[in-house]
């Protein structure tokens, strides 16, 4: 059974699996039902599985989807290391604009679960960091949005040094570079409302 903790952002959870190792390697259950539903109080309706490979310094996010239906995610890093971030983007939430982080890597093999309405971002801490995630809905570009990951109002404390000890040069996609600030997203009515979905 995994160890777990709810993050400072309600609806986000960290899971640390029990690993079984011997001279052949390691075995673990990175996702397990019914344990997941007992902890979170919900099921994960799997509709899509994604894999992302990133160079050191690549920052992806803050991404979210329209609610309803939203998109819940269960994320792990199978190779390398990332700092994974959950941001509360639900207007009216008591923790609106707050964030929390989980180090996902190929040592502790943790996973993070993010409920619908939460923003998701991660920073790759070494070359070829490989992230896989299970999604409750499929990709629909017309429902997908972003908030700028370097917005000073959110003030995520991004690492400046990678797993190797070398400085990280942050790299954003053109889409994430052009993303609105949190306040601009509020003004534009882009964000989900607390209690929706």
Catalytic residues: 63, 133
For residue 126, what are the CA distances in angstroms to 21, 42, 83, 132, 178?
24, 33, 11, 16, 25
Q: Is the dihedral of CA 92, 95, 99, 100 positive or negative?
A: negative
């Amino acid at each position: 059974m995994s160890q777990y903790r709810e993050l400072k952002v309600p609806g986000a959870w960290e899971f640390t699996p029990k690993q079984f190792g011997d001279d052949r390697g390691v075995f673990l259950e990175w996702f397990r039902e019914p344990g997941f539903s007992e902890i979170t109080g919900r099921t994960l309706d799997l509709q899509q599985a994604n894999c992302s490979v990133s160079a050191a310094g690549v920052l992806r996010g803050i991404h979210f989807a329209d609610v309803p239906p939203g998109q819940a995610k269960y994320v792990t890093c199978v190779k390398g290391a990332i700092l994974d971030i959950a941001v509360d983007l639900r207007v009216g939430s008591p923790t609106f604009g707050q964030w929390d982080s989980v180090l996902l890597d190929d040592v502790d093999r943790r996973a993070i679960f993010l409920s619908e309405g939460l923003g998701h971002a991660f920073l790759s801490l070494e070359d070829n960091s490989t992230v896989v995630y299970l999604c409750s809905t499929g990709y629909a570009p017309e429902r997908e949005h972003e908030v700028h990951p370097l917005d000073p109002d959110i003030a995520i404390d991004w690492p400046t040094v990678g797993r190797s000890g070398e400085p990280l040069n942050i790299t954003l996609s053109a889409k994430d570079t052009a993303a609105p600030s949190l306040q601009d997203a509020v003004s534009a009515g882009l964000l989900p409302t607390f209690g929706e979905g």
